[in-house]
Amino acid sequence: MERSTTPLQVRVAAGRGVCQISRVDYALAWLIAGLALAISELLTGTFYLLMLGIAAFGAAAAAYLGLDFGPQIVVAAVVAAAGCYAVHAYRAKNRARQMPPIDAGMPASFEHWVDPASRLARVRYRGAIWDARVEGTEGLEPGSLIYVASTDGNTLKVTAKRPA
């Protein structure tokens, strides 16, 4: 069984032509890509790059078995789609069991309203002024004690009652 390979071509600096220096095995190229993606995953911790790395390893297996480049791409795409969907479904299913934010339940001090109609305010939390979205319909006065319910980027979600 002959494995699919392609010549690696390098242009000569002087522009005199093309020089063939070796043959690159598709399986080796897929393995290198998979390894690079798996190592990159160590920097992110999301598992999506790991799924893409596993997809590249699947394409490497297809190349090693002698499949042409088109089916290798199909194998990589199917494995990547299935893996990314599995990670997404797992994260959505376990969202409730994830650790609550460390700010939840911490006290803050209400400073003033930015836009009372949309419940946007400024609060003092950890010695700094933060943007906050006030949950509930309570009317708050400056200096009122409020509690952080959660965070949304750099905006705190606060409530007048301490969250459970």
Convert the pLDDT of each residue in 87-135 to its tens digit: 999 988 887 776 667 888 899 999 999 998 888 999 999 999 999 999 9
Give the pTM: 0.54
Question: For the packed helices 48-64 and 26-44, what is the interaxial angle rounded to 10 degrees?
Answer: 170
C-beta of residue 79 within 8 angstroms of C-beta of residue 64 = no
159 vs 144: CA distance, rounded Å? 11
pLDDT reported for residue 162 = 83
70-92 pLDDT per residue, tens? 999 999 999 999 999 999 999 88
* Owning domain of residue 134: 107-159
Q: How many domains does the chain have?
A: 2
Residue 142 in tokens: 């400056």
Say yes or no: 62 and 120 in one domain.
Answer: no
Residues 92 and 16 in one domain: yes
* Judgement on whether residues 9 and 28 belong to the same structural domain of the protein: yes
Closest CA to 61 of 30, 84, 38: 30
Segment 20-67, tens digit of pLDDT: 434 468 999 999 999 999 999 998 888 999 999 999 999 999 999 999
Shared domain check, 88 and 121: no
